[in-house]
Amino acid sequence: MVRSPFDISDDEDDPFSDRNYSRLVNRTEEAKNVPDIGRAKHAASKAYPPVFNVDEVTKGPTNISISTNQQRSALHMTLFGGRERGWPYFTYFVSLIQIAVFIYELVKMGVYTKSIFQTKPYFNPMLGPSSYVQINVGARYLPCMTAIKGYTDNMRLEWPCPNSTSTSTDVCSLKELCGMGVGFSNGTPRQWWRLFTSIFIHAGFIHIIFNLLLQVALGSKVERYIGLLRYAFIYVAAGMGGSILGANFLPAGMVSSGASGALCGACIAMNLLLLVYNNNVGHYDSRLEGRASRQLFVMMLVGSLVEVIIIFVLGLLPGIDNFAHIGGFVIGIALGTVLLESPYFVYEQDRRTRKPLVFFTWISVRVVCLALTIAYFALLSKNFADKGAEASDSCKWCKYINCLPVNGWCELGNLSATSS
């Protein structure tokens, strides 16, 4: 049979056949298998923050799989969250700084006293340098930060030196004790940056080991999940929030150091928020999101609440800055509410469609939390700037948040001078 040159052949042996051609009748048959985008659009996603995936469709001529997670760059996920693996860069960076500063404390203590542990005039139960060395390195200590009538204005008053092993010898001026080179204006202490530097200073091996364990074990998971930028911001803000609250209400003679405030905000508060927001333990591991892990979720939620209670109760013991714990935790909750994605109950079952009333209510909650955070820092900063060591006079009973009124615990840390 003679074929017209315009006839189209499906014969694979024909070297001139158009193999990319599909007959109209075939396309008509394929049209019956159009992907059900309507069904895919409302597919539920268990991940939080909500990830809107279009299901893989196998009815059509080709497979379609679209995922916003796959479209994100590694840098974007590092900065804004969504990773399950990879280095928690900020957590490691801060941990290295804290370790380096602690080594510097030990070296300084060893040079001054020939021992890295304080044993005189009293033993440091945290197994570390003396409080005088901590002050000299940058711990929070009110006489180095603000004027205190009768103390910082008395040039004849003698203070312990960083190398002191006795309360009656090795005396220095306040400026020598505070160190750090600058921060004194006409003899008046103005080292306000101790609100920040105290976050990186620790009182001993026990102190730093416990903080690093919490920071690396839990903080790294939180950082991967919410991203470096949000985690770093909350970490620093919570640390500063704990410091400014302690500066207002802690006794003037008490030395405070450590990242407890930052950890209470960035790790403990954020962990609690993510448990509530997700209604699962997916931020530990996405494989734990199913119903089979419901018992684990309840256990972790109750455990986190008990952990918060224990921390605040331990903060009532002498020598522990409970104000740093409370301030850091409060700022962590407030900023977490502002910065995190909306929780699961803002969405319908498909995790895509918002509930209008709940959504706008949650926006109002976020605005209130942001306003309260700004007011927190503004009012406490003004109170401390205006009143200095007398800032605690604004709230006489607040000292009982930090101590139990037994055995004179609430009087510990008050400044006193003795005549020689």
**What does the pLDDT average to over 277-286?**
78
pLDDT digits (tens, 9 = 90+) for 375-401: 999 999 999 999 988 888 778 788 888
Task: Average the pLDDT over each of 7-11, 152-156, 177-181, 305-309 and give the range with the smallest value.
Answer: 7-11
pLDDT for the residue numbered 202:
94
67 lies in the same domain as 167: no
**What does the pLDDT average to over 15-22?**
44
Residue 101 has pLDDT above 90, yes or no: yes
Q: Tell me how far apart the alpha carbons of residues 56 and 65 are, in angstroms, rounded to a whole number.
A: 5
**What does the pLDDT average to over 317-346?**
91
Residue 5 belongs to some domain of the structure: no
Domain residues for the domain of 35 are 25-71
Residue 4 belongs to some domain of the structure: no
Residue 6 has pLDDT above 50, yes or no: no
182 lies in the same domain as 238: yes
Six-digit token pair at 404? 């139990």
Integer angstrom CA distances of residue 25 from 14, 29, 58, 247, 400: 21, 6, 20, 81, 84
138 lies in the same domain as 167: yes
pLDDT for the residue numbered 420:
57
Residue 358 belongs to some domain of the structure: yes
Q: Tell me how far apart the alpha carbons of residues 38 and 42 are, in angstroms, rounded to a whole number.
A: 7
221 lies in the same domain as 105: yes
251 lies in the same domain as 290: yes
pLDDT digits (tens, 9 = 90+) for 111-121: 988 889 988 87
268 lies in the same domain as 307: yes
State CA 333 to chain mean position distance. 10
Q: Tell me how far apart the alpha carbons of residues 161 and 250 are, in angstroms, rounded to a whole number.
A: 22
Q: Cis before residue 49, ω within 30 degrees of 0?
A: yes
pLDDT for the residue numbered 271:
93
294 lies in the same domain as 374: yes
pLDDT digits (tens, 9 = 90+) for 158-215: 888 887 765 556 788 888 899 887 888 877 899 999 999 999 999 999 999 999 999 9
Residue 16 belongs to some domain of the structure: no
Task: Average the pLDDT over each of 9-23, 75-89, 97-111, 113-127 and give the range with the smallest value.
Answer: 9-23
- Residue carrying the six token digits 């409370």: 326
Model confidence at 413, pLDDT cuts 50, 70, 90, reads confident
67 lies in the same domain as 197: no
329 lies in the same domain as 274: yes
Average pLDDT, the chain: 81
Q: Cβ(187)–Cβ(148) under 8 Å?
A: no
pLDDT for the residue numbered 29:
47
**What does the pLDDT average to over 343-371?**
88
Q: Tell me how far apart the alpha carbons of residues 231 and 237 are, in angstroms, rounded to a whole number.
A: 10
In the chain, how many domains are there? 2
Residue 37: count of CB within 10 angstroms of its CB: 12
- Residue carrying the six token digits 């309840």: 298
Residue 2 belongs to some domain of the structure: no
pLDDT for the residue numbered 291:
56
Q: Tell me how far apart the alpha carbons of residues 409 and 250 are, in angstroms, rounded to a whole number.
A: 12
pLDDT for the residue numbered 25:
41
Q: Which residues contact 154 (CB under 8 A, 6 or more apart)?
A: none
Model confidence at 28, pLDDT cuts 50, 70, 90, reads very low
Give the residue numbers annotated as catalytic, written as ranges: 260, 325
Integer angstrom CA distances of residue 273 from 276, 286, 294: 5, 17, 17
Q: φ, ψ for residue 172 (rounded to 5)? A: -140, 175
Residue 417 belongs to some domain of the structure: no
Residue count of the chain, please give it: 420
50 lies in the same domain as 112: no
Per DSSP bridges, beta strands 64-66 and 54-57 are antiparallel
Residue 167 belongs to some domain of the structure: yes
Model confidence at 288, pLDDT cuts 50, 70, 90, reads low
61 lies in the same domain as 94: no
Comparing CA positions, the residue from 183, 219, 205, 206 lying closest to residue 328 is 219
pLDDT for the residue numbered 72:
66
Residue 77 belongs to some domain of the structure: no
55 lies in the same domain as 93: no
Q: Cβ(208)–Cβ(101) under 8 Å?
A: no
**What does the pLDDT average to over 346-352?**
77
**What does the pLDDT average to over 93-101?**
97
Comparing CA positions, the residue from 226, 221, 224 lying closest to residue 341 is 226
